[in-house]
Each structure stands twice: as C-alpha cells, then as structure tokens.
Amino acid sequence: MHEMSLASALMEEIDRISRQNNILRIDEVELRIGVLKQVVPQVMEEAFRAVSLGTLAEGAILRQVEIGARALCEDCGMEFVPAPDDFLCPVCGKFSRNLLEGDEILLGSLTCVT
Amino acid sequence: MKINVVKNVLQANDIVAAKNRQVFQEAGVLAVNLISSPGSGKTTLLEKTIPALADQGPSIVIVGDLQTTRDAERVADSAFQVTQINTGMSCHLYANQIAESLPGLELAQAYFLFIENVGNLVCPGEFDLGENLKVILLSIPEGDDKVAKYPTVFRAADMVLLTKIDLLGAFSYDLARVENDLRKLNPTAPLVPFSATTGQGMGEWLGWLAEQRKTKVGAQARFIHE
Ligand SMILES: Nc1nc2c(ncn2[C@@H]2O[C@H](COP(=O)(O)OP(=O)(O)O)[C@@H](O)[C@H]2O)c(=O)[nH]1
Ligand SMILES: [Mg+2]
Ligand SMILES: [Zn+2]
C-alpha cells in the first residue's frame, strides 16, 4: 500500500530534476529499491503510471532494480542477509543495527530528451 | 540522453524533517509521533495522557486526519493548543505539513508535542516528521501477528504500546509471540501492555515520557524560556 506514497515522492523528485535540466520528455526512469522496503513491483508500476499521468514521464518505462539486504553483525563480524522481519545474526543470534544496504529507495537515472 | 541521479527519493521530506527537529530542539519541546492502525487508541491515549502530564507541563497536539475534526475536538479541552491537518487522500503525514503548521503554535510554551499520524501501519514509518520519538500502538484485537507483518514501523519504534490490554481475555493471543517478533527487529524499544480503560501501563508510559524529555530535550533548553 505504500507504493503510492513512494511513487508520489519519486514523481516530485523527477519534476525537480526535469525543471533543473530543461527536460522535454522522459523515456525511462530507473528506480533502485532495497528489498526491505517490501515494495511489490507490479503495484509500484501501477502507482507510477497513475502519478505520472499528464507529466513529462507519462508513458515512460519504470525500470525497477532490486537491491538485496546485507547486514554486518556488530558482535561477531559476520556479514549476513537480514529478512524484513528478522535482523538477528544467524551465527551468534545478536541483533544488528548495522545494515549495509537493502533499505533504500533511490532514483538512479533518467533517460530523457532535453 | 541519460542523466545519472542516484538520489534518495525521500530526501526532500527528510530535509524538512531535519528542520522541524531543529525547531523542536530550540523550543525545548519533546515531539512524539503516534503511529497505529485506525482505531488502535491514539486519540484515547492522548485524552488520558495530556491531563496526566499537566503537572509536568503543557502539551500541544497536531492531529492528522483524513477530513474530520473529531479527534482534534476530543483533545481540545485538555491540550494547550490543538491543530488539525486535513490529509485528504494521503495515508500519512509529510514533514512539510508539520512545518506549515508550526508557525501557529507556541512551541516554546509547551513541554510535549504529540503528533497523531493518520491511521496506517505502513506509510507513516517511511516519512520522518522530525519527531524525537516514534511510538507505535498495537491493540490486542488486531492480533498477535502484526509485528512481523509490518516490520518497518516496528523496527523504527522507540516504544510499543500494546493497547486495549484489558481485552486480552476475549482473544486467543500470544503475548510472547509479540515480544519475540519485536526483538528480531528492535532490541531496545520498551513493549508496554497498556489500557486506557483500566490505567494499566499508564505509570510506565508517563515515566518514560518524562525521562525521554530529560534526555532528548535537556534541562537547559527549558531554562532559556523560563
Ligand atoms: N477496551 C478498550 N477500548 C479502548 C481502549 N483505548 C481505546 N479504546 C476504544 O477504541 C476505539 C478507538 O479509539 P481511538 O482512540 O479513537 O483510536 P485511534 O483511531 O487510534 O485514534 C474507541 O472506541 C475507544 O474507546 C482501551 O484501552 N481499552
Ligand atoms: Mg484518532
Ligand atoms: Zn553475529
């Protein structure tokens, strides 16, 4: 359900960059999303389609690149893959706040006509 | 042409949130973002909490509501100031909406600022408002499986209030499961069984708020304004 909120934030960022760069049309938007964001690609696709209607990005391809989750155990130094609902180190069982990646949502690039 | 951007989509919100946080700090007020599903007891918690905090200091409330002013009216008598943000179709508050409502508030006169977010356990977790603390309310009727289902907000929580604990007997509910699920995501947030009806957990909640105010805002900040 939060795809709509995220797509709106994405669209605002695209607008800002379009103005800065005098973009006339956008053909492709690359979005990099950490798995921990629990975004459903099809839902994101629909949300993007909705928020981009009537904008320079209407009809653009939304290329979604998934970023895996990685965490480093503060206790034993083990690098592991946390699950969205489980951040315990599989080796020592300690909780790790040391998330290396997997929680981000980044506008990667815009393919466009200026 | 390809323009490489690589920018956090939520950055615009985060920048405004950081400014809000600065304003709260300078005013010496502790800002608390209340997050839960609709009906978990946020407004009821405020109705009980604000009068009980009166001997510590006044509270300001910002209510995010789809379109009614009902929640704002419920706390209007006990709060020092109340302001309502109509969120319309949006399912969460933005840092911008908070920033826009701040000029109308006498923050420096208040000890606590409570922000009742829109009823939703997902989106409010993504949008920083500049609060000092995120408090998640999870009511017993919602079931004991919700921590694992909505991990993001529970990971970000500074406190989890298990509300409507007076109804525990009416449901088949595994308290240990909630605690266990929470500790996989968040080792430090206190998990407090709470009831606005019986008062259970009220002492711990109020004590925690006082303690947090002391550590997060500091004694000196208040001194300037007195
Ligand atoms: N039994 C019981 N009911 C509660 C408690 N707290 C709130 N409620 C009821 O739950 C309903 C929704 O509460 P409300 O505060 O409006 O929830 P909000 O949508 O999160 O603001 C109301 O009918 C409250 O009376 C509680 O501790 N115990
Ligand atoms: Mg309410
Ligand atoms: Zn470890």
Q: Is the CB of B39 under 6 A from ligand 1?
A: yes
Site to probe by mutation for ligand 1, drawn from B36, B40, B42, B44 as the one with most ligand atoms within 8 Å of Cβ, is B44
**Cα B205 to Cα B159: distance, rounded to the nearest angstrom:** 9
Tokens of B48: 């009980």
The residue type found at B198 is: T
Q: Which residues of B touch A111 (CB under 8 A)?
A: 1-3
pTM score, two decimals? 0.94
**Cα B20 to Cα B18: distance, rounded to the nearest angstrom:** 5
**Cα B125 to Cα B28: distance, rounded to the nearest angstrom:** 24
Ordered alpha helix ranges (H), B65-112: 70-75, 95-101
Residue B225 falls inside a structural domain: no
**Cα A110 to Cα A13: distance, rounded to the nearest angstrom:** 11
Q: Is the CB of B57 under 6 A from ligand 1?
A: no
- For position B225, what pLDDT does the model report? 47
**Cα B31 to Cα B24: distance, rounded to the nearest angstrom:** 7
Question: For chain A, what is the domain count?
Answer: 1
Q: Whose CA is nearest to atom 19 of ligand 1?
A: B39
- The 3-state DSSP class for residue B95 equals helix
Residue B202 falls inside a structural domain: yes
CA of B179 to the centre of ligand 2 (A): 25
Q: Which residues of B touch A88 (CB under 8 A)?
A: 184
- For position B90, what pLDDT does the model report? 84
Cβ neighbours, 10 Å, residue B183 = 17
Lookup result for tokens 């069982």: A93
Q: Which chain B residue shows the shortest CA-CA distance from A104?
A: B8
In b/e form, how buried is each residue of B130-163, taking b as 16+ CB within 10 angstroms? Answer: bbbbbbbbbbbebebebbbebbbbbbbbbbbbbb
Question: For chain B, what is the domain count?
Answer: 1
- For position B219, what pLDDT does the model report? 55
Q: Which residues of B touch A87 (CB under 8 A)?
A: 155, 184-185
**What is the dihedral sign for C-alpha A93, A99, A105, A111?**
negative
Could you tell me if residue A16 is left (phi over 0), alpha (psi between -120 and 50 degrees) or otherwise beta?
alpha
Band (pLDDT 50/70/90 cuts) for residue A1 is low
- For position B224, what pLDDT does the model report? 46
CATH number where A41 lies = 3.30.2320.80
Could you state, in chain order, the average pLDDT of each consecutive group of 10 residues for chain B (226 residues)? 95 96 96 97 97 95 87 90 89 95 96 96 94 98 97 97 97 97 97 98 97 84 48
Q: Which chain A residue shows the shortest CA-CA distance from B188?
A: A95
- For position B88, what pLDDT does the model report? 82
CATH number where B146 lies = 3.40.50.300
Q: Which chain B residue shows the shortest CA-CA distance from A20?
A: B3
What residues make up the domain containing A99?
A: 2-113
What residues make up the domain containing B29?
A: 2-217
Tell which atom from ligand 1 comes closest to the C-alpha of B194: 27
- The 3-state DSSP class for residue A68 equals coil
- The 3-state DSSP class for residue A81 equals coil
CA of B1 to the centre of ligand 2 (A): 48
